[in-house]
């Protein structure tokens, strides 16, 4: 057990050196650490440990995805498809297809064509069932499996869009993850302007380009009802002003490939945008064929601008003007770049943690760690003399390796995580205590120093592995089934177990073996 081949010595030295390299940035100012990181390859040293919400302060938001809105939108889209199929087949209908709750309902004036119409309706959307009631009306609805799949995709897409929006604000180390069937957990360490973040997350950012009606006015539509294919939409800047718009979308925000804050010809804040090839063709064709008409830009059901088309716009790009500030133009550009949410998000829980509380937690954690470390160091020196000093050196390397692992993995350190580190400090010398006590027993049994140390390591190894393995299993279960603070504790505990095993079995043993072979003592100072 005391024989160390060259490769094993090199392994220990390399691991310890990497530990020092990766943990060193945590003792520097953030700006200095970022400078070092910029020189390093991806995944290299230079990263500091990510601090959790309870240590750094910030915002905690729990969002609920209103997936029923996605189902409603899809029903509305299918209503147009149903109406078009009936028109193409020459089927007269009354009442006209419309959404009622989670159903599409309509009737036909030719009962003898029910079977034919039922067959046609099954081709509209394979995820919908078609039923004919006793009153002769058709009822179409999504299957339970289809509705669940729509909800699942809506939540996954919402998570991705939320992540894009948060990332583009420059927030460091955000935590964004799914919670339950229809909720998203968002933790934003270091955030001070939580209201802006909330506004960015709550906006659906559905952008459409639609024509303003040139056939009738809003007043006529309000008195006699909007004509089929038209709707009244309010203005974002002036709610007393309304527009009568075609329901048909010429181009949607899904065709945008870029959006940036800019300035218009009057040097006022605006948002420039650029379409993909398909969107550019649609936009160019629409403006070319409709010079002189008003072209409304609609964001989340409100008209933000309705300029008149003076000339064809064939370049696939344009500019959105309105009553923007520099901040609002930047936010709108951010929302458009990130993409539209598939469903509305509702903030159902919100918490804020002040940076002062986080600073107090860090200071308390530092004090606890230092007190625990000093107590362990003194105990080991008093109890085991020189061997205790060697164990203390290995303990320092153990803490270095924990910080290095947290930095390299970019694991988030929370207050329970600090508790895990403090616990690991005590556990780290546990293996050495077992080994040293076993060596004492071998010395009392009359063995020579070299044989006593060799036997002590051999016979204590199984016990050490068993004890640490069972703790590692418990920590793994905490990580798998726990959440939030429990996971933070489990992460540092698992890392601490692995590093303490390495430092006890490899680092301490290498120092003890080197000392024995150089000094050849007649008796052990233990």
Q: What is the 3-state secondary structure (H, E, C) of 273-287?
A: EEECHHHHHHHHHHH
Q: How confident is the model at residue 139 (pLDDT cuts 50, 70, 90)?
A: very high
Q: In sequence order, what are the residues at sequence separation of 6 or more whose Cβ sits closer than 8 angstroms to the Cβ of residue 201?
A: 61, 63, 162, 165, 186, 345, 347
The reply to whether 427 falls in a domain is yes
Q: Which CATH number characterizes residue 381's domain?
A: 1.20.1640.10
Question: For residue 420, what pLDDT is reported?
Answer: 83
Instruction: Give every strand in the sheet of 269-275, ordered side by side.
Output: 256-263, 269-275, 317-320
Q: What pLDDT is stored for residue 309 in this prediction?
A: 86
Per the structure, the count of domains in the chain is: 2
pTM equals 0.64
pLDDT band at 227 (very low <50, low <70, confident <90, very high): confident
**DSSP-assigned letters across all residues of 291-319:** TTSBEEEEETTEEEE--B--S---SSEEE
User: 512 and 434 share a domain?
Assistant: yes
- The answer, yes or no, to whether the previous bond of 61 is cis (omega within 30 of 0) is no
pLDDT of residue 69: 82
Residue 503 per-residue DSSP state = I
pLDDT (0 to 100) of residue 45: 63
Maximum CA pair distance of the chain? 110
The residue range of the domain holding 502 is 6-56+356-519
pLDDT attached to residue 116 = 92
pLDDT digits (tens, 9 = 90+) for 205-217: 888 899 998 888 8
pLDDT for 138:
94
Phi, psi of 109 (to 5 degrees): -90, 0
The 3-class SS string of 108-141 reads ECCHHHHHHHHHHHHCCCCCEEEEECCCCCEEEE
pLDDT for 239 beyond 80: no
| Torsion angle, alpha carbons of 105, 108, 114, 119, to 10 | -60
Taking the C-alpha atoms of residue 168 and residue 170, their distance in angstroms, rounded to an integer, is 5
Can you tell me the distance from the alpha carbon of 274 to that of 313, in angstroms, rounded to the nearest whole number? 11
Tens of pLDDT, residues 45-62:
667 787 777 777 778 889
23 within a domain of the structure (yes/no): yes
CATH number at residue 108: 3.30.1240.20
User: Does the residue 373 lie in any domain?
Assistant: yes
Mean pLDDT of 374-400: 90
- Let me know if residue 276 belongs to a domain: no
**Domain end marker among 94, 120, 142:** 142
Are 138 and 11 within one domain? no
Tell whether 374 and 488 lie within a shared domain: yes
Instruction: Give the residue-averaged pLDDT of 191-203.
Output: 80
Spatial separation of the C-alpha atoms in residues 500 and 507, rounded to whole Å: 10
The pLDDT value recorded for residue 238 is 65
When pLDDT is cut at 50, 70 and 90, the band that residue 90 belongs to is: very high
Indicate whether 357 pLDDT > 60. no
* Last residue in a domain, options 97, 118, 142: 142
Confidence (pLDDT) at 41? 57
**Contact (CB, 8 A) for 398 and 503:** yes
Residue 272 reports pLDDT greater than 60 = yes
Burial class of residue 166 (count of CB atoms within 10 Å of its CB; 0-12, 13-18, 19+): buried
Please report the pLDDT score of residue 42 as a whole number: 58
User: Is the predicted pLDDT of residue 226 greater than 60, yes or no?
Assistant: yes
SS3 label, residue 94: coil
Amino acid 43: pLDDT: 55
Question: Which two three-digit tokens encode residue 360?
Answer: 């107090």
Among 116, 142, 168, where does a domain finish? 142
- Residue 513 above 60 pLDDT? yes
- pLDDT category at 44 given cuts 50, 70, 90 is low
Distance between CA atoms of residues 309 and 298, nearest Å = 16
How far apart CA 422 and CA 399 sit, in angstroms, is: 10
d(CA 268, CA 339): 24
For 208-229, the DSSP string reads EEEEBPSSS-HHHHHHH-PPTT
CA atoms of 432 and 387, how far apart (whole Å): 9
Mention every residue, 6+ apart, whose C-beta is less than 8 A from residue 270: 261, 262, 263, 264, 319, 320, 321, 322, 324, 329
121 and 12 assigned to the same domain: no
Rounded to whole angstroms, how far apart are CA atoms 437 and 429?
12
Rounded mean pLDDT of the chain?
84
Task: Report which of 143, 213, 199 is spatially closest to residue 169, judged by C-alpha positions.
Answer: 199
Would 475 be classed as within a structural domain? yes
Please state the φ and ψ torsions of residue 44, each to the nearest 5 degrees: -80, 180
Give the N- to C-terminal CA distance of the chain in Å, as an integer. 19
- Is residue 495 assigned to a domain? yes
Is residue 132 domain-shared with residue 13, that is, in the same domain?
no
What whole-number distance in Å separates Cα of residue 115 and Cα of residue 130? 11
Residues whose CB falls within 8 Å of the CB of residue 282, separated by 6 or more in sequence, listed in order? 250, 251, 255, 275
Q: What does the pLDDT read at residue 129?
A: 92
């Amino acid at each position: 057990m005391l024989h160390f081949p060259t490769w094993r010595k090199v392994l220990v030295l390399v691991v310890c050196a990497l530990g020092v390299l990766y943990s060193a940035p945590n003792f520097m100012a953030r700006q200095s650490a970022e400078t070092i990181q910029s020189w390093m390859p991806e995944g290299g040293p230079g990263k500091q440990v990510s601090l959790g919400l309870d240590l750094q302060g910030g915002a905690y938001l729990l969002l609920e995805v209103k997936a029923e809105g996605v189902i409603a939108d899809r029903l509305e889209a299918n209503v147009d498809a149903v109406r078009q199929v009936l028109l193409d087949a020459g089927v007269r209908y009354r009442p006209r297809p419309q959404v009622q709750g989670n159903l599409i309902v309509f009737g036909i004036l030719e009962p003898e064509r029910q079977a034919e119409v039922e067959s046609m309706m099954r081709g509209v959307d394979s995820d919908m069932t078609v039923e004919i009631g006793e009153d002769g009306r058709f009822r179409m609805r999504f299957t339970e499996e289809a509705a669940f799949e729509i909800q699942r995709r809506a939540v996954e897409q919402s998570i991705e869009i939320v992540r894009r929006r948060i990332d583009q604000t420059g927030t460091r180390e955000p935590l964004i993850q799914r919670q339950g069937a229809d909720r998203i957990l968002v933790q934003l360490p270091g955030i001070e302007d939580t209201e802006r973040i909330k506004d960015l997350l709550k906006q659906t950012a559905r952008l459409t380009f639609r024509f303003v009606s040139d056939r009738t006015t809003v007043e006529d539509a309000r008195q006699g009802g909007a004509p089929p294919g038209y709707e009244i939409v309010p203005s974002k800047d002036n709610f007393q002003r309304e527009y009568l718009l075609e329901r048909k979308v010429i181009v949607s925000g899904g065709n945008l490939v870029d959006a940036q804050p800019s300035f218009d010809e009057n040097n006022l804040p605006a948002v420039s945008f650029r379409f993909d090839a398909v969107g550019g063709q649609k936009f160019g064709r629409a403006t070319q064929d409709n010079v002189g008409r008003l072209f409304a830009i609609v964001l989340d059901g409100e008209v933000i601008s309705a300029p008149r088309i003076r000339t064809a716009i064939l370049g696939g790009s344009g500019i959105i003007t309105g009553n923007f500030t520099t901040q609002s133009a930047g936010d709108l550009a951010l929302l458009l770049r990130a993409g539209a949410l598939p469903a509305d998000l509702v903030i159902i829980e919100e918490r804020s943690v002040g940076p002062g509380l986080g600073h107090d937690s860090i200071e308390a954690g530092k004090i606890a760690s230092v007190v625990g470390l000093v107590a362990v160091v003194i105990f080991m020196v008093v109890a085991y003399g020189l061997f205790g000093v060697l164990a203390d050196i290995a303990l320092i390397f153990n803490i270095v390796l924990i910080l290095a692992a947290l930095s390299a993995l970019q694991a988030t350190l929370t207050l329970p995580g600090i508790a895990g580190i403090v616990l690991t400090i005590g556990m780290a010398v546990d293996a050495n205590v077992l080994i040293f006590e076993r060596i004492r027993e071998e010395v009392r049994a009359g063995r020579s120093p070299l044989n006593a140390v060799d036997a002590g390591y051999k016979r204590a190894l199984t016990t050490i592995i068993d004890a640490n393995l069972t703790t590692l299993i418990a920590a793994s279960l905490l990580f798998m089934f726990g959440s939030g603070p429990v996971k933070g504790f489990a992460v540092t505990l698992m890392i601490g177990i692995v590093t303490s095993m390495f430092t006890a079995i490899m680092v301490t043993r290498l120092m003890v073996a080197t000392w024995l072979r150089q000094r050849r003592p007649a008796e052990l100072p233990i």
